[in-house]
Copies of this chain bind each other. A is one copy, B any other.
């Protein structure tokens, strides 16, 4: 039942994306469309459409808005991979590895504009104040995500980061787009201000939980599950919640080993594995509990909203559960 519901949304969203991402400059549109074909869970459009359904919104608008959020997300992935020098994503060479950095920058820019084009079509015919609000929500998200990515890069050069700084960074980099997805679904579904706010909070809390689980998987999943090289977070010096926590409580000698290999792109596999084991020893339980805490807060928020569509509510619960229990 829920599977069918999800598959219907994903099919419609994918059709919109395929419809919009085409044009007469072959290589540019190929590079722009490449990552959509490589897979992806379409979590954000699912959350957007479910949120719209939950408050009784128009499905056609929600599907368009869902596609716009996925296109936006994909633009950030393409540019992030260049900045982080990541070579694999979803088990495939990243866009800049396949098409070169200039074309990858341009493909990201094209998708950034496409996201607005699709959003604009999703909003056509709504009243003026609603359109302005929706576009403000969308642009705010991109600004905040850019700030989050800047913080993420700055943290790579820092020896220590506090848990609060970490939470601020992932709130901007990851959770903001989750809250924008659920909030935008509610907004164009013509929810009350209160409804929009609660669904935004649900998305934000879930997004924090999602990123913590992502950090955990970076040190516990295998290469196939990850779709990228093992321990790339360590190699890039990412200050994940596991690193933040381990550096807080490891012994001085252990800290030294961790800091030696963190951000060392020349570290051997054995050094990386040893470092990962050290980090996990001190942080894995803590990180799981933290992810669970935000997951439960998210569910609370979801249950405080009036559900106009039982299936959509159950689907959002299912998505929330999936984010903390997933293996990839």
B-contacting residues of A (Cβ < 8 Å)?
23-25, 27-28, 76, 79, 82-84, 101-103, 105-106, 108-110, 112-114, 116-117, 120, 123-128, 131-132, 135-136, 138-140, 142-143, 146-147, 149-151, 153-154
Contacts of A27 in B (CB 8 A): 150, 154
Contact B114 A23 (CB under 8 A): no
- Contact yes or no, A112 B112, CB < 8 A: yes
Residues of B within 8 A of A114 (CB): 139, 143
Contacts A/B (CB < 8 Å), 28 sampled: A23-B143, A25-B150, A28-B150, A76-B109, A79-B105, A79-B106, A82-B101, A83-B102, A83-B105, A84-B102, A103-B150, A105-B105, A105-B108, A106-B150, A106-B153, A110-B143, A112-B112, A112-B142, A113-B139, A113-B146, A116-B138, A117-B139, A117-B143, A120-B132, A120-B135, A125-B128, A128-B128, A135-B135
The smallest C-beta distance from A154 to any residue of chain B, in angstroms, reads 7
Q: Among the listed B28, B117, B128, which residue makes an inter-chain contact with A147, where contact means beta carbons less than 8 Å apart?
A: B28
Let me know if B132 and A116 touch, CB within 8 A. no
- Please, which residues of chain B bring their CB within 8 A of the CB of A153? 102-103, 106
Copies in the complex: 2
- A60 → chain B closest CB, angstroms: 16
With contacts A131-B128, A132-B123 taken as known, whether A82 is within 8 angstroms of B109 at the C-beta atoms is no
Closest CB in chain B relative to A140 CB, distance in Å: 8
B103, B120, B126, B154: the one contacting A136 at CB < 8 Å is: B120
Tell me if A82 and B110 are in contact (CB < 8 A). Answer: no
B154 and A139 form a contact (CB under 8 A): no
**Chain B residues, Cβ within 8 Å of A101:** 82-83, 101
Contact, CB under 8 Å: A135 / B116: yes
